Each structure stands twice: as structure tokens, then as C-alpha cells.
Structure 1
Amino acid sequence: MTPGHVPLVHLLRGGMVEGVHHGSVVALAPDGSTLFEVGDPDTPMYPRSTAKPLQAVAMARLGLRLDAAGFAIASASHSGESQHLRAAAAVLAGAGIPAEELRNPEDYPFDPIVRDAWIADGRKPDRLAHNCSGKHAAMLVTCRENGWPAESYLDPGHPLQQAIRATVEDLTAQPVARVAVDGCGAPLFAVSLRGLAKAASRIATAAAGTPEFLVAQGIRQHPELVGGSRRDVTALMRAVPGLIAKDGFEAVQLAALPDGTAVAVKIADGGDRARPPVLAAALGLCGVDGGRLEPFSSDTLRVTGALAELRRAA
């Protein structure tokens, strides 16, 4: 089924519209009611790496116990900076697991500056440098804790992946619509934007000591590990106190305030440049101070269509 996305962002050049990004947005109040929605927030889509906090909650429910930095890197699509490689390696080292057991692809760091320096130094792609290595490290440790085979941890039928699926369905309050394989090799569970926002709200408001709280605490305490020193998701969490946020490929993002107000965004064409201004506009409509969100807007990318109408009416 083709989602019913709508125009969200106009790319301007010299006062003329040069391009248009379509997409969908939904914002939920702390009680789960809909604050506003634009486009099609209910057709299932692949959340890609935006699902990592949900996957981390599943592993915490299975007994995974890490420090805050460990849960942050388990929830991360990191940039491959030295701090990220150290954090992912520390998760493995805590359980005595060698990096060679990781099943994610070998890769260069995601950050372009770090990647260029890595290549200039003659370094080859590495599993720890892959942006999903923290999640995979946590998956291996969770298998070790539960006595499950490590070599098949990416199989959708593996007990770990079955438990992750069940947690995704619980947090989103909806059944998984379809299963695919993410770019890192892990199973990918299709849900709707509305379900993703519900999950974000539950994680953001979890009581102390719960698995959800452990993940939220890690994300809040270490936003630099969730993204990177030059990533908008990290800058956004530093700008908005208590916010948890996670971005993913194909321009998906979730964000939730400490009171449980939550937003989920999908840009239809996967154009990542449109994602930050749309999310900033949505958070502004949720009451976040505009001054904190200004760095995530753009003079050349103008939020338009139904979302702009909501802003004018607010």
C-alpha cells in the first residue's frame, strides 16, 4: 500500500520553489490522544534505525544490564568517532565477547570527516566502525545472558528477535505488519508512525528502574553517543532538556518530551535534509520554545502545506 503522504517542505532558490518533500507527521499528547497529524501516520512503514531504542528496551527486559553509556550506544546509529568505538567495545568487553562475533557488516565511520581521516590513514572497514555496532554488541551480550546461540542472533526466528518483536508490538500497541532485513542485517519490523510515537512516549515517561527507564536514561545522559559530534539528533537533545530522540535512514525520526508528548516523522523520499525542519516545526507546535529549535530550521527549506497551516493557527 502506498502511504498517503502530503507536501511538508519546499526547497526555495531565489524565491522560487525548486523542490518539494512529501511526508507524514503525528504528535501525541501525554495521555495518548492525538495533538495533530498530517499526511498518513497509520500506514505501516519501516522505522529503520529509529527502532533502536525499542530494541534496547526489549534487551533490557531480557536482563541486559549496562551502564548509561552502554544503553546509549545500544540505541545509537553512531558516527564512528573514537568515543563510539570505545563505547561499543566496552559493551562487548564487559561480557568477554570478541568483536569478531559481531554480525553487522564491516564499514567505514559514518561521519565524513572521521571517515576521510580513517581512509587517509590506510585503515580498512571495521565491524566496530559500523553505525549499528552498539546494537549488535548489546544483542550478543543479551544472548550470552540468556544462554542463546550467538551465531544465529540475526535470524528472525531466534529467541532474541522473537522477544524484540513482542516488545515492539507491546510498546507500539499494534501488531508488526511485515518483517524485512535492515541494512545492518538485523530483522526490521514494520509499524506505523502513530505506533512509533506511542512507543517513544512510553520510554520517555517510564518509572525509575524499569527497562524503559534504563534506555531513556542512557539516551538523555549520552546524546553524543546516540548520534555524534556533528549530528542534528545529538544537538537537538542538547538543546531541549529531557528530550529523547532517535533518527533513522530513509528520514524517519521519533522524539519525546519528559511529560510523554511525542512526535514521529517520516519524509517520503528519504530526503534527510527535510527531516530536521519538519521535526522542529512539530516540536514547536507541541510547546517547545522556538529559540531552542531555531538552529534546526533553514532559510532554504520552508515547512509548508498542512503543517504550516497548523503553525499559523497556533
Structure 2
Amino acid sequence: MSCAAPAGAPEHVPLVHVLRDGLVESVHHGSVVVLAPDGSTLFQAGDVDTACYPRSAAKPMQAVAMVRLGLSLPPELLALTAASHSGEQFHLAAAARVLDLGGFTEADLGNPADLPLDPIERTGWIAAGRPARKLAHNCSGKHASMLRTARRNGWSTSDYLDPGHPLQREIAATVEDLTGERIAHVAVDGCGAPLFAVSLRGLAAAAARIATAPDGSAAHAVARAIRAHPEMVAGSRRDTTELMTAVPGLIAKDGFEAVQIAALPDGTAIAIKIADGGDRARLPATIAALTLAGVNPTLLTPFTTPNHTIHTTIRSR
């Protein structure tokens, strides 16, 4: 295992240009790495070795840790464990099912109450005057599984989000194992769970290890669940779900502040961070990186921007 990634301001580079009538109007900076199946670098731009927060792109790693600790769920519920779900009714029902299987209620969740992430679902809730709920938070599936994993191991559940809790220590160990790096910094994510800073290179390596994990391993179970139920990982109107549906065998996960990971069945993997945290540039950069990873461009055509108003330029420095 290598040492922790250095902390500091990453040296991002221009990745995505927004054009209006052929003239560059806006530029999004960021960093991207594409790893070959053997772990060598196929492409990199920007700063892929400085520590950054993976945000929800860490959820597949967290799910692997929980399965290693004995979490056993049907594939659709395991996919929800690795999800930032949209808050559609089937997501809420699935999260409630995980809670029920573990003997918990919504009140036991440590994540904050929220409205659904999906704009259509959120608008419907507001129009109906429905209050925010813990179950509707996009991380409720992960939290429900954390509770279930803690109880299965005989650990306390009221403090399951404490960084010193055995569950979180085991998750941290799994993050280090999968990324091949020491954790550079520990913070608190938006959902209240510990957040472990690693490099983009480490994130891509972790995605590759999950995508290529051998049958019978915890990582293979997570990858299989994600591939079988991409709608659980994001939602019926989310680009991450649509990408996994379009590209055979792809596993992918987005995160707040414009982070994206993805890996193909052969272990080719990408990791992206858009510097400004805005989501507009994340998908164009992802499509360009997947093309460099060898994905058939025809499969990615539906995700390109009409009229070429967004142009992705990723070049080696």
C-alpha cells in the first residue's frame, strides 16, 4: 500500500468548454485519469494524485466493506446500499425494506431529513405539501445498511456514524485496501457519515478492483448488484443509471461536487473531478473519458450534447 495522497489545492486544467455560436463562453477545469486493466495510466489530465473527497463515489467501497462484515441482502437492496438514489417510490420502499429486515425504523437513520433528489419527485412532494423525510434522503439506503451491518456484528447502532465506531474503522480499512492508499484526511459527508479523502488515481483503482473482483468475493457481489439494478444506484431519470444501461458491464457512481467513477468489466477505469463542483461538466467529461477507455462511441452517442454546445477537451499536460 502506498502512502497517503498529498493534501493541498489540486492543479486542475481546462477540461470542458461551453460554446455559443462557435465561441468559448465558459470553461470548466478539472482532472481525469483513465487506467488500463493492468493499472497503468492510459490517460491523465490535471492533478490526479492530490487527495480529494470522493463524496458519494465512495459508496461502492462502503458497500464492499459492509458485505465483508457479513451484510447479506438481495441484489436490488445491495445496489441501493451503494446508491445516491433519486427518492422515487421504489427507492423509498427498498430503503424501508432494509430497515425492516434489520429491525429498525426510519427514526433510527442517522442521515438528515430531505426531499427527493430527483427534480420531478421533489416538485411533487412540494406540491403535495409533504415534509422532508430521512427515508427520502439520497443516502438512506447506505445508512439503513450501516445500521443492519452494525447490529449483525453486535455493535452499538446509536453512534454508528462516529469515525471511531468499529463499522467506520472497518470501512476506512476497506477504502485503503481498494484504493491502495492511506487515507489522507477524514471529514464528515453531507449525510453525516465519515468521508475519506484519497486521490483520483486511487478511486479509479478501487473501481477497477470492484469491477473485476472474483466470483464469491464481497466486491463481486456489489458489482453484480450494481450491474443488475442500475436504477437503484441512481434513478430512472439519472445519467449514471442510463450509462450503465447503455454500456454492457459498466459500473458507475457519481458524487456531489462533480465526482465520477466508472469501470468496465476488463478493469479499465476512470475517475473525474470537476474543479468548480458544478454538475454541468461532469457528464461530458465522463463521456470523453469512457471513449478514451475504449467504449464504442456509438453507445455513448445518446449522451452527447445537441448542436455541440459543450465541447470536451482533455489533453495531457
Q: TM-score range by the shorter chain?
A: over 0.9
Query: Within 2, Cα distance between the matches of 1:195 and 1:297?
Result: 28
Moved more, 92-101 or 73-82: 92-101
How big is each residue's C-alpha offset from its partner over 1:85-109, in whole Å with a ceiling of 9 and x where there is no partner? 0111111111221111001000000
Q: In angstroms, what is the RMSD of aligned CA positions?
A: 1.0
Structure 2: unaligned runs, 5 residues or longer: 1-7
Q: Corresponding residue for 2:33?
A: 26
Instruction: Please give the residue correspondences for 1:290-305 in structure 2 after superposition, counting only pairs within 5 Å.
Output: 290-298=297-305, 299-305=308-314
Q: How many residues align?
A: 308
CA deviation after TM superposition for structure 1 residue 207, in Å: 1.1
CA deviation after TM superposition for structure 1 residue 297, in Å: 2.1
Query: Within 2, Cα distance between the matches of 1:92 and 1:214?
Result: 20
Aligned AA (2:285): V
Q: Corresponding residue for 1:201?
A: 208
- Is 2:84 the partner of 1:77? yes
Instruction: Please give the residue correspondences for 1:175-186 in structure 2 after superposition, counting only pairs within 5 Å.
Output: 175-186=182-193
How big is each residue's C-alpha offset from its partner over 1:219-239, in whole Å with a ceiling of 9 and x where there is no partner? 000000101111000000000
Q: SS state of the match for residue 67, structure 2?
A: helix
Task: From the superposition, tell whether residues 17 and 120 of structure 1 become closer, same or farther in structure 2 (CA, over 3 Å).
Answer: same
Question: Which residue, 114, 124, 132 being the options, matches 1:125?
Answer: 132
How big is each residue's C-alpha offset from its partner over 1:197-218, in whole Å with a ceiling of 9 and x where there is no partner? 0100000011112100111011
Q: SS state of the match for residue 237, structure 1?
A: helix
CA deviation after TM superposition for structure 1 residue 300, in Å: 1.2
Aligned identity (percent) is 66
Q: Corresponding residue for 1:108?
A: 115
Aligned AA (1:300): T
Task: From the superposition, tell whether residues 46 and 209 of structure 1 become closer, same or farther in structure 2 (CA, over 3 Å).
Answer: same
CA deviation after TM superposition for structure 1 residue 305, in Å: 4.6
Question: Which residue, 266, 270, 289 being the options, matches 2:296?
Answer: 289
Q: SS state of the match for residue 306, structure 1?
A: coil
- Is 2:281 the partner of 1:279? no
CA deviation after TM superposition for structure 1 residue 185, in Å: 0.4
Contact 2:257 2:274 in 1 (8 A): yes
Query: Within 2, Cα distance between the matches of 1:305 and 1:95?
Result: 46
Q: Corresponding residue for 1:48?
A: 55
Query: Within 2, Cα distance between the matches of 1:236 and 1:137?
Result: 26
Q: Corresponding residue for 2:259?
A: 252
How big is each residue's C-alpha offset from its partner over 1:147-194, in whole Å with a ceiling of 9 and x where there is no partner? 111010110010000000000000000000000000000000000000
Contact 2:61 2:174 in 1 (8 A): yes
Aligned AA (2:21): G
Contact 2:84 2:234 in 1 (8 A): yes
Q: Corresponding residue for 2:217?
A: 210
CA deviation after TM superposition for structure 1 residue 296, in Å: 2.0
Query: Within 1, Cα distance between the matches of 2:295 and 2:236?
Result: 23
Structure 1: unaligned runs, 5 residues or longer: 310-314
Aligned AA (1:214): A
After TM superposition, the runs of 4+ consecutive aligned structure 1 residues lying more than 4 A away are: none
Aligned AA (1:176): I
Contact 2:250 2:264 in 1 (8 A): yes
Query: Within 1, Cα distance between the matches of 2:304 and 2:11?
Result: 25
TM-score normalised over the length of structure 1: 0.96
TM-score normalised over the length of structure 2: 0.96
